Amino acid sequence: MEIVEGIVLKTSDYRENSKILQVLTKEHGLIGIYLKGANNYRNKSFALAQPITHALFTIYYKTGLSSCFKGEIINNFNSLKIDIEKNVYLYHLFELLLKNLEQHQEINYLFNLILKLVIRMEEASLKDVKIFTLYFELQLLTYLGVAPVLSNCVECGSTSQIANFDITKGGYICDKCNCSTLKSYAVETLQTLLYLKKLNIDEDIAISDETLNELRHLMSDYYLYHLGVKTNSAKFFKS
């Protein structure tokens, strides 16, 4: 038996009164946890079994489904849970984690980052939430080994006269290698993409609505092409 720190990403009903939680933990990465009685709102474990809950779980850990005996909520993020617009982006990130991470692989960096973003999202504006979402997507691509090439032209290696972005090749394209059949991205979008990848998340960043919208389409297209992933939440994104 051990105590793990985790964030509930998703829950599903199990039998009449229990739930299975998909939890991103600091100690074991993504794991499934069986929580008895959590489907009964009178049970004290009901609050523990809600998505976006940050808690300590006392579990019997197994490489299959772990069992939870009790838990202690660290932060239930109540105001964030009732913010439907912010939830769209947060659940999008949770879906990306669930669809792209292997179970039982410790990933302290991603755990700490998603927790930091959830904390910031609770008080942030919707526009900042959109920026945080793009930032995390770039970090996740780096972890998965399919990050876009933003240091040079992905075709010839040139570091000058960057003119476009090629989704299929996975990175910047210089003026010489640019093709008229490629979708054209604004210079500000290309510059902001690089800035976002290097961003210190504690910094404030100003991005125009047009650039933010174009970056959203670029990132969605990139995930779909390179990972075959499109989340259910993405269809609710607003320009």
Question: Which positions ≥6 away from 193 have C-beta within 8 Å?
Answer: 138, 148, 150, 165, 215, 218
> What does the pLDDT read at residue 239?
53
Report the percent of the chain where pLDDT is more than 70.
Answer: 99
Say what the pTM is.
0.93
> What does the pLDDT read at residue 54?
97
Give per-residue pLDDT as tens, 180-224: 889 999 999 999 999 998 888 888 788 999 999 999 999 999 999
Q: Which two tokens stand for residue 167?
A: 């989704």
Checking if the pLDDT of 117 tops 90, the result is yes
Task: Supply the DSSP symbol for 106.
Answer: -
> What does the pLDDT read at residue 224?
97
CA distances from 44 to 26, 60, 88, 92, 209 (A): 23, 19, 27, 28, 43
Looking up tokens 């808690």 gives 55
Q: Which residues are paired to 13 by β-bridges?
A: 19
Checking if the pLDDT of 87 tops 60, the result is yes
Checking if the pLDDT of 164 tops 80, the result is yes
Give per-residue pLDDT as tens, 168-182: 999 999 999 998 889
2-76 maps to which CATH number?
Answer: 2.40.50.140
* 4: three-class secondary structure by DSSP: strand
Q: What is the mean pLDDT of the chain?
A: 92
pLDDT band at 18, cuts 50/70/90? Answer: confident
Range of lowest pLDDT (23-37, 42-56, 146-160, 217-231):
42-56
CATH fit for domain 80-236, picks 3.40.640.10, 1.20.1440.120, 3.40.50.720, 3.40.50.1820: 1.20.1440.120
> What does the pLDDT read at residue 74?
96
> What does the pLDDT read at residue 238?
67
DSSP secondary structure of 165-188 = EETTTTEEEETTT--TTSPP--HH
* 205: three-class secondary structure by DSSP: coil
* 135: three-class secondary structure by DSSP: helix
pLDDT band at 231, cuts 50/70/90? Answer: very high
Instruction: Give residue 136's Cα distance to chain centre.
Output: 6
Checking if the pLDDT of 236 tops 90, the result is no
Checking if the pLDDT of 39 tops 80, the result is no
Top pLDDT among 39 and 234 is at 234
Listed by start position, the domains of the chain span: 2-76, 80-236
CB-side neighbour CA atoms (13 Å) of 207: 32
CA distances from 113 to 22, 100, 109, 213 (A): 18, 16, 6, 23
Top pLDDT among 17 and 172 is at 172
Distance separating alpha carbons of residues 154 and 166, to the nearest angstrom? 8
